[in-house]
Homo-oligomer: A and B are copies of this chain.
Amino acid sequence: VEAAFAIVDAEGLDGLSMRRLAQRLGTGAASLYAHVSGRPELLQLLLDRVAAEVRVPDPEPARWQDQVREVGHALRDALLPHRDLAGAALANIPTGDNTMVFTERLLAILRAGGVPDRLAAMFIDKLPQLVVVDVYEGSLFGQRVAREPEYFAQLMAYWQALPPERFPNFAAIVGDISPMEEADGADEGEARFSFGLDLLVLGLAALAARG
């Protein structure tokens, strides 16, 4: 698992092949199958170790909405160093022990805050889903820009060149779009993530208030 993290952090998910991992451990790919059932199980082990890193606070019912936001940010911070590893979380429903502890503690915050059980049960999926897809897309975009530095400028140029007759609304808001990192280094990715988090939390609050 340690060696696998080293590869993922350096090269991303695609770089983590059974063969490359075996090579780094000074053995052959077939030997890994004595320790994991296959690549999917290896990825689950990595994800569960990431889940172990996420600190979820004890419930403070009065500020449950902010606590949910904190949990979202904590999960994002834990996933960010590992490139597109987040993508592996989309493929399987995680059942590792650390993942279950994460879910249990998130549930504690929601239920203490008065969120009905049926809503809480659906929300414990949606929050990690938002975080995972955000980190995954951000990582792939980052890798693309690293490989192809002109990509960012090309995308903006394409959007700005769209004919305003056919795309009047898009032309009107194109100035408000800034995919991921701003040129000045302001963390636009963080702002976009917080926006998504706000939608989920405010939406849940509205549904919970209706009962």
Contact = CB atoms under 8 A, between A and B. Distances in A.
Copies of this chain in its oligomeric complex: 2
Interface in A102-133: 103-104, 107-108, 111, 117-123, 125-126, 129, 133
Contact of A170 (B103, B126, B198): B103
B129 A137 contact: yes
A104 B170 contact: yes
Contacts of A34: none
Given A170-B104, A170-B107, A199 B207 contact: yes
A117 B173 contact: yes
Interface stretch (A22-30, A69-77, A89-97): A89-97
A176 B121 contact: yes
Give the one of A90, A158, A192 with max B CB within 10 A: A90
Contacts of A118: 176
A91 B128 CA distance: 19
A198 B203 contact: yes
Interface stretch (A2-10, A46-54, A161-169): A161-169
Contact of A203 (B117, B155, B179, B200): B200
Interface residues of A, number: 55
Interface string A192-211: 10011011111111110000
A183 interface: no
Interface in A43-102: 87, 90-93, 95, 100-101
19 contacts: A90-B90, A90-B140, A93-B141, A104-B166, A104-B168, A104-B169, A107-B169, A107-B173, A111-B173, A117-B173, A120-B176, A122-B192, A129-B133, A129-B196, A198-B207, A201-B203, A202-B207, A203-B206, A205-B206
